[in-house]
Amino acid sequence: MLVPVSSLVNLKKFPLGRAEFALRQVSARSQERDLPAIAALATRGADQAAHAMGAELLLGAARTSQFPSEAGELDGLVDLGVSGLSGYCEVQMRLYHGQERASAAGRVRNALLPDGIAAVTRLPYAEQHRRVAVMIERAQSPALAADVALLPEMPALIQRLGELNQRYGVSLAHTEDAPSREDLRAERARCQDLLAATVGMILGHFAMLPPERQADRDYLLEPILSQNDAITAARRRNRAPRDVDPGTGIELPETPGGEPARPVPAT
């Protein structure tokens, strides 16, 4: 099993701007101390944070308000299709309780909607379209063919949902390349791992050096530890830590809606 480095180093989860700012500082300080390997790893982590911020901005641009009105109408129809498919399975399970038809309906519903209806219908538009496409592919797979054959209306429901989702995808064509929430979570996790790995490399490098060199170690760690302390202080006040401008380290203001402002990746 691959153990994430971030699970081995006791750091808070860094907002992306704080991660990039801290790692750029570590990279610069490592170059001052002629430690190119540490500088290279810190730069890699900072670049990953900037890349993740870019993905976050792309996802933000693909929110509901950015889509044509037709997308909203089709989203509602796809929601109804997903709900209808689940409801049909539930009816079969109740009316044919104890019979193979009910068991087939249960297996189909569990295969297509293992986490329930809301896990699909509450997704952002582009992500929901992708998820429903996977549902349709699964519904038409040989693994479910026998169960679907026991449910008279199911093929028509699947076909109708597929047609609606295809039209839905056409209306979302300009955002199909936007990252999903899962993509963004993975990008953030990679950033946190590189942050932790940088701390580990610094500690490992100075572990065998004499005590008088520990000041250099602390000098390299300070940008990360100071951001970690700021995040800890915010959590103690039961507040989400604000992100910072990755170029200056200055905290970003909250938006009018009360959400922290998003940093803009350095270019």
Residues 134 and 228 in one domain: no
For residue 135, is pLDDT > 80? yes
Number of structural domains the chain divides into: 2
Confidence band (pLDDT; 50, 70, 90) for 64?
A: very low
Residue 212's pLDDT is what?
Answer: 82
For residue 30, is pLDDT > 80? yes
Residues 70 and 202 in one domain: no
Residues 74 and 203 in one domain: no
Residue 101: exposure state from Cβ atoms within 10 A (0-12, 13-18, ≥19): middle
Contact, 242 vs 234, CB < 8 A?
yes
Residues 101 and 228 in one domain: no
Show which of 175, 204, 220 is a domain's final residue.
175
Q: Of the candidates 112, 122, 123, 75, which has an alpha carbon nearest to the alpha carbon of residue 90? A: 112
User: How do residues 237-264 score in pLDDT, each as one tens digit?
Assistant: 888 888 988 888 898 876 544 445 556 5
Pairs from 65-68 (Cβ < 8 Å, separation ≥ 24): 66/175, 67/125, 67/171, 67/172, 67/175, 68/171
For residue 179, is pLDDT > 70? no
Mean pLDDT computed over 30-42: 95
Residue 233's pLDDT is what?
Answer: 93
Residues 43 and 108 in one domain: no
For residue 172, is pLDDT > 90? no
Show which of 140, 160, 175 is a domain's final residue.
175
**DSSP assigned state of 245:** -
Residues 194 and 223 in one domain: yes
Residue 244 lies in a domain: no
Residues 74 and 154 in one domain: yes
Residue 259 lies in a domain: no
For residue 60, is pLDDT > 80? no
User: How do residues 186-196 score in pLDDT, each as one tens digit?
Assistant: 889 999 999 99
Residue 266 lies in a domain: no
DSSP 4-31: PGGGTS--PPPPHHHHHHHHHHHHHHHH
Which residues constitute the domain of residue 130?
66-175
Residue 3's pLDDT is what?
Answer: 60
Q: In whole angstroms, give the CA distance from residue 242 to residue 256.
A: 14
Residue 229 lies in a domain: yes
Residue 191's pLDDT is what?
Answer: 93
For residue 176, is pLDDT > 80? no
Residue 261 lies in a domain: no
Residues 162 and 104 in one domain: yes
Least confident segment among 43-52, 68-77, 134-143: 68-77
Show which of 175, 205, 221 is a domain's final residue.
175
Alpha helices by DSSP H, the chain: 16-32, 36-61, 69-95, 100-112, 118-121, 125-139, 142-149, 154-171, 181-206, 214-236
Residue 154 lies in a domain: yes
Residue 203 lies in a domain: yes
Contact, 191 vs 45, CB < 8 A?
yes
**pTM for the whole thing?**
0.56
Residue 187: exposure state from Cβ atoms within 10 A (0-12, 13-18, ≥19): buried
Of residues 59 and 74, the one with the higher pLDDT is: 74
Contact, 136 vs 158, CB < 8 A?
yes
Structure tokens at 177: 């390349």
Q: In whole angstroms, give the CA distance from residue 119 to residue 266.
A: 34
Residue 256's pLDDT is what?
Answer: 45
Residue 104 lies in a domain: yes
Share of the chain above pLDDT 90, in %: 58
Residues 79 and 154 in one domain: yes
- Average pLDDT of the chain to the nearest whole number: 86
Mean pLDDT computed over 58-81: 73
For residue 65, is pLDDT > 50? no
Q: How far is CA 227 from the centre of its chain?
A: 22
Residues 205 and 189 in one domain: yes
Least confident segment among 28-42, 142-156, 241-255: 241-255
Residues 90 and 155 in one domain: yes
Residues 79 and 20 in one domain: no
